[in-house]
């Protein structure tokens, strides 16, 4: 199992990015959360099988539409088992 945090920068707010991320997580059997940050970035934590996390992060790097533009994704490996039961959008 893999547990990661990520900060996504670029044009990622106001373009449906959090809901896209939630859908991608559910598609890849990943649990965790995603939220907008005050600096215009989006942060997330995700937990799942190694290959599912890898595929999920590849989707996140592409973004939801032609209106979104991901310029940077900073991923960090975390330790532990967060015991998330779903993937939620935090406000």
Q: CA 76, CA 86: separation in Å to the nearest integer?
A: 20
Q: Is 66 a catalytic site residue?
A: no
- Write down the pLDDT at residue 67: 87
- Write down the pLDDT at residue 91: 92
Q: Closest by alpha carbon to 89, among 46, 9, 35, 14?
A: 35
Interstrand relation of 2-11 and 69-77 (parallel, antiparallel or unpaired): antiparallel
Q: What percent of the chain has pLDDT over 90?
A: 96
* Catalytic entry in 11, 18, 76, 77: 18
Topology (CATH) of 2-86? Alpha-Beta Plaits (3.30.70)
Interstrand relation of 87-90 and 31-36 (parallel, antiparallel or unpaired): parallel
Across the range 31-38, mean pLDDT stands at 98
DSSP three-state, residue 26: helix
* Catalytic entry in 36, 66, 76, 90: 36
Q: Is 18 a catalytic site residue?
A: yes
Q: For residue 66, is pLDDT > 90?
A: no
């Amino acid at each position: 199992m893999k547990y990661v945090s990520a900060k996504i920068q670029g044009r990622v707010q106001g373009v449906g990015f959090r809901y896209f991320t939630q859908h991608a997580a559910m598609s890849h059997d990943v649990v965790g959360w995603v939220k907008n940050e005050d600096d215009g970035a989006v942060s997330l934590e995700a937990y799942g099988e190694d290959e599912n996390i890898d595929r999920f992060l590849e989707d996140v790097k592409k973004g939801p539409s032609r209106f979104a533009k991901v310029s940077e994704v900073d991923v960090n490996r975390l330790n532990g088992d967060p015991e998330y039961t779903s993937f939620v959008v935090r406000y």
